Amino acid sequence: MLIRLFYRYRDLAPQLVPLDYTNHPDVKLPYELIGSMPELKDNPFRQRIAEVFSEDGEGNMTLDDFLDMFSVLSEMAPRDLKAYYAFKIYDFNNDDFICKSDLQKTLNKLTRNELTEDEVRMVCEKVMDEADLDNDGRLSLEDFQHMIVRAPDFLR
């Protein structure tokens, strides 16, 4: 499994990645290559995913980051872990809360800007209304997890 993933990683840029990893060479693949993988290519969140899992926060991945990403995206990963990373993916401005602007970004990514501004605002308000338990105007990780507990088909 690991070896397969390594070859996947290497295939993205054979000229960059050496075959011999015994002395831990410092190799990073740029986001352009990661984002063009078939698993991510059509995902509207591909940039966010790459950013969240990469160590430098810009989508450039080392082999370890790459392995991390696949271990979380695999179906064997625990649900809690997935929820945690999903939260981070939705948290566009990295402030540990999903606030309204994050929701708007999510919505725009999911609907490709087809909703009008008014509709986006209304949907965001509704979501906040439903999911924000402590009424602080933003979703914390607990709010998110609480919602996910009640959504059994989340990330199945």
Give contact residues for another protein (rule: CB under 8 A): 38-39, 41-45, 49, 55, 64-65, 67-68, 71, 73, 75, 78, 80-81, 84-86, 88, 90, 94-96, 98, 103, 106-107, 110-112, 114-115, 119, 122-123, 126-127, 130-131, 133-136, 140-142, 144, 147-156
**How many C-beta neighbours within 10 Å does residue 42 have?**
7
CB of 47 to another protein, least distance (A): 14
- CB nearer to another protein: give 15 or 55: 55
- CB nearer to another protein: give 15 or 135: 135
- CB nearer to another protein: give 15 or 42: 42
CB of 66 to another protein, least distance (A): 9
CB of 35 to another protein, least distance (A): 14
